[in-house]
Amino acid sequence: MSKRKRRLFAGPYMVWIIGFTVLPILMILYYAFTNADGSFTLSYLAGIGDPVHLKALLLSLRLAVECTVICLILSYPLAMILHGLNIKKQSFVVFIFVLPMWMNFMLRILAWQMLLANNGIINHLLNLLGLHSVRILNTPTAVVFGMVYDFLPFMILPIYNSMIRIRKDVIEAAKDLGANDRIVFFKIIVPMTMSGVISGITMVFVPALTSFVVSDLLGGGKVLLIGNVIEQSFMQGSEWNLGSGLSIVLMIFVIASMAFMNSHSKETEGTAVW
């Protein structure tokens, strides 16, 4: 079969992309830029300027940054430890981090709600140890906690994947040439895992910025993120145009953060999580 004929196999997918990726985006653009009569307007896009919406967006950005930084700080040492274990079957490592996803994520977050509750298990344990109880439920801290829990695998796996690609002899060569552990870490390991770090950041930051369920469950309705505003404008009120306008603003932030990441990674190929 010639290459030309083989290309035809992508045909159904092309149709699918046009129908279910491109068209929906055009629809959301249409709703965002027109009012009820169908005439052009920018007022829905400007809806982000409303103090409530702006506050939600800024809070989302803050929490997403916090979540991403914490995930990175937790994941990097873990990836190094896992790498040091020399597990032959790397798919086993992936397996450990993917397995929790088979328990419904909302139930898992709900379990955290029980664990973190003021009279929950964690506070009981803290009291037993003679420590003060923590009151974090229904605060932004709890939301960050839940997001870190939910998105941590998406940071660990790309970093781990990029780390196992570093060949041992490169590190040995550096050591032979007199580099100490610190230099090996900063001059070899960090630069060579940068692509993994960057794809990890993207995989965590975007979902954290746009999530609305975690804030619903752990924020107790007191933490309003931009995702919650958009969800409510579609599901509670029926302000579809406003919701679309805010979605476009959100998309601009998503695209901007991805462009930022892309400009900082030399090669994007092969940095997929799995």
Partner 1 sequence: MVKKSLSKIYMVLIFLFLYLPIAVLIVLSFNNSISRVHWGGFTLDWYRELFQSETIMSAFYTTLSITLISALVSTIIGTMAAIGISAMRKKGKAIMLGATNIPLLNADIVTGISLMLLFVRFTNLGMSTVLLAHITFNIPYVILNVMPKLNGLPQHTYEAALDLGATPAYAFYKIVWPDILPGVFSGFLMAMTMSLDDFSITYFTKGAGINTLSTMIYTQLRKGILPEMYALSTILFLIALLLLLLINYRSLEHPARHRKERK
Smaller CB distance to partner 1: residue 142 or 177? 142
Smaller CB distance to partner 1: residue 73 or 183? 73
Among 46, 114, 173, 256, binds partner 1 (CB under 8 A): 114
Distance CA 172, CA 151 (A): 34
Cβ-based burial of 5 (10 A; exposed 0-12, middle 13-18, buried ≥19) = exposed
Q: Segment contacting partner 1 (CB under 8 A): 20-28, 41-49, 129-137, 163-171?
A: 20-28
Among 42, 95, 135, 222, binds partner 1 (CB under 8 A): 95
Among 108, 134, 220, 265, binds partner 1 (CB under 8 A): 108
Q: What angle, 0 to 180 degrees and rounded to 10, lies between the N-to-C axes of helices 140-164 and 51-84?
A: 40
- Asked if residue 231 binds partner 1 (CB under 8 A), the reply is yes
128-148 burial code (b ≥16 CB/10 A, e <16):
eeeeeeeebbbebbbbbbbbb
**Interface mask (CB under 8 A) for partner 1, residues 139-178, using x and -?**
----------x--xx-------------------------
Smaller CB distance to partner 1: residue 24 or 49? 24
Among 37, 39, 40, 84, binds partner 1 (CB under 8 A): 84
Minimum distance from CB of 192 to partner 1 (Å)?
A: 19
User: What are the residues facing 34 on neighbouring strands?
Assistant: 40
Site for partner 1 in 211-230 (CB under 8 A): 211-213, 216-217, 227, 230
Rg of the chain over all Cα atoms, to the nearest angstrom: 23
Q: What angle, 0 to 180 degrees and rounded to 10, lies between the N-to-C axes of helices 226-235 and 240-264?
A: 150
Minimum distance from CB of 171 to partner 1 (Å)?
A: 17
40-52 burial code (b ≥16 CB/10 A, e <16):
ebeebbebbeeee
Among 163, 189, 206, 224, binds partner 1 (CB under 8 A): 206
Minimum distance from CB of 263 to partner 1 (Å)?
A: 15
- Asked if residue 11 binds partner 1 (CB under 8 A), the reply is yes
Joined tokens for residue 265: 């990674």
Total binding residues toward partner 1, as defined by CB under 8 A: 84
Spatial neighbors of 98 by CB under 8 A, at least 6 apart, are: 153
- Asked if residue 191 binds partner 1 (CB under 8 A), the reply is no
Whether the Cβ atoms of residue 265 and residue 198 lie closer than 8 Å to each other = yes
Smaller CB distance to partner 1: residue 46 or 96? 96
Spatial neighbors of 8 by CB under 8 A, at least 6 apart, are: none
Whether the Cβ atoms of residue 93 and residue 160 lie closer than 8 Å to each other = yes
Distance CA 272, CA 274 (A): 6
Q: What angle, 0 to 180 degrees and rounded to 10, lies between the N-to-C axes of helices 240-264 and 23-33?
A: 120
Q: Segment contacting partner 1 (CB under 8 A): 44-52, 164-172, 187-195, 206-214?
A: 206-214
- Asked if residue 78 binds partner 1 (CB under 8 A), the reply is yes
Smaller CB distance to partner 1: residue 173 or 264? 264
